[in-house]
A and B are shown apart, each in its own frame.
Chain A
């Protein structure tokens, strides 16, 4: 279970991007976070594994408080959180297998990483997962030879190699065409239930979010203003989430505060 409470993030001395935000995610739910650009979706996701340092608040994953960990313990704790990125963030010049195995870098020895002698168990696991998402035959290809959808599958497998307790996906389909994008969404949904893995997805495509999620969280200017089943997300709620421009919102909130 991931429990975020009173999470605040402020860049520099400006207005906070996240304002005392509370969110709890558990089970094998697929939760989609929607909201206009600048609402703080990406910051929220990156605060969970502290790629972005939260200003205050608490993040608790199955009993581990993330915000107070020192560098070393944070590194070990990050192995428990898988992450998938909008730009795939693969290492282009390495093979698919090397990219997939880089998900295990937190576990294997430096020597094993350098010589590419991965543990048998990891190789077996990698082939299973690659088979599952349909990229096993690409194991020896360079990552930059693959198409967008295939590259994102490599990204997903890399994250799953960590055997994570939760999967974060930062706009995983934004760089993909509509058809591939739906394939990746349904893959993420199926994996969530197969692996009993809670998944949090930042997404711009509301139709896709409604179709594939168990729960939708709507953000506007650093706060959660909608949280519920996809079926409850109607026109009124949509208007509220996407109304106005973040800059205007910010000015109003500044005046109010």
Chain B
């Protein structure tokens, strides 16, 4: 008691920040406001159109109602195609990403060169958006489902490889040590000590990516890479708003379906 009084008795003032820190914080705030103001000025917004948006929205909604189910058979066929694109691409990507994850993980990579090759594959796959991959593959394979599968697959390899690589890096090293002591080859160590530990992450990541791919493959059609997006694009181009709303409803149903299936699988497997 005595000591605290003598230590702090003379002081009745306390502040969280020093003067210098406070000035720096105000300076940071001013700078941020400046950047936001500059960004708003440079994007050249036509404000009349922004204020107009609510009535435009109401108008569009009016034209979309009621949804037109007359084209439903071909919409459903396109949705089925979309599901197939997502599923096939995910399956191929999972297989391809396994060796990439193996060489891109610090603790299993055979050497530094392989590590960098692995990381380069992961980064280049992830830094290019699915739509841009699709544009590329439409140019190569021509419009259609093959370009869509290739695009989704190329984007997924980076995602799956990165997360699986991280799962490999997080394994418990003890079983690996035990199997080294037994005299097992590197491949058998992977088989018995690494694969079982990575298995749960593997399924979780694969299911998550399938769910994401389901959503991503709905827009592939906008660049001609197959699926429901083709019909959506056609309907928008011809101002067929009732069909547009029908397509949007179907996509919504698809996304809910994907969510339900992936939740179920996750519960079942993990």
Contact = CB atoms under 8 A, between A and B. Distances in A.
A38 interface: no
Nearest to A102: B192
B186 to A, nearest CB: 9
B20 interface: no
Nearest to A75: B183
Contacts of A91: 175, 192-193, 196-197
A94 B178 contact: no
A110 B199 CA distance: 19
A114 B191 contact: yes
B184 A106 contact: yes
A98 interface: yes
Nearest to B189: A105
Contact of B179 (A88, A92, A102, A110): A102
Interface in A82-119: 83, 85, 87-94, 98, 102-103, 105-106, 110, 113-114
Interface string B170-200: 0000110111111111011101110011010
A164 to B, nearest CB: 10
Contacts of A155: 178
Nearest to B193: A91
Interface residue tally on A, bucketed by range = 20 to 34
A85 B191 CA distance: 21
Contacts of B178: 83, 85, 89-90, 102, 155, 158
A93 to B, nearest CB: 4
Interface residue tally on B, bucketed by range = 20 to 34
A75 B185 CA distance: 7
A138 B110 CA distance: 37
A81 B180 CA distance: 11
B188 A87 contact: no
A210 interface: no
Interface string A223-238: 0000000000000000
Which residue among B175, B183, B187, B188 has the maximum number of chain A CB atoms within 10 Å of its CB?
B183
B182 to A, nearest CB: 6
Contacts of A106: 182-184
Contacts of B191: 110, 113-114
Contacts of B182: 78-79, 83, 102-103, 105-106, 158, 162
A81 B181 contact: yes
B184 A102 contact: yes
Contact of A89 (B175, B187, B196, B197): B175
A85 B181 CA distance: 11
Contacts of A76: 183
Nearest to A161: B182
A51 B197 contact: no
B188 A85 contact: no
Shortest beta-carbon contacts, A-B, top 4 = A106-B183, A105-B184, A78-B183, A89-B178
Interface of A: 49, 51, 75-79, 81, 83, 85, 87-94, 98, 102-103, 105-106, 110, 113-114, 155, 158, 162
29 contacts: A51-B177, A51-B180, A51-B181, A75-B183, A75-B184, A76-B183, A78-B180, A81-B181, A85-B174, A88-B174, A89-B174, A89-B177, A91-B196, A92-B175, A92-B197, A94-B192, A102-B179, A102-B182, A102-B184, A102-B192, A105-B183, A105-B184, A105-B188, A105-B189, A105-B192, A110-B185, A113-B191, A158-B178, A162-B183
Given A83-B178, A105-B189, 18 more contacts: A51-B181, A75-B184, A78-B180, A81-B181, A83-B182, A85-B178, A89-B174, A89-B177, A91-B175, A91-B196, A92-B175, A94-B192, A102-B182, A102-B184, A103-B182, A105-B179, A162-B182, A162-B183
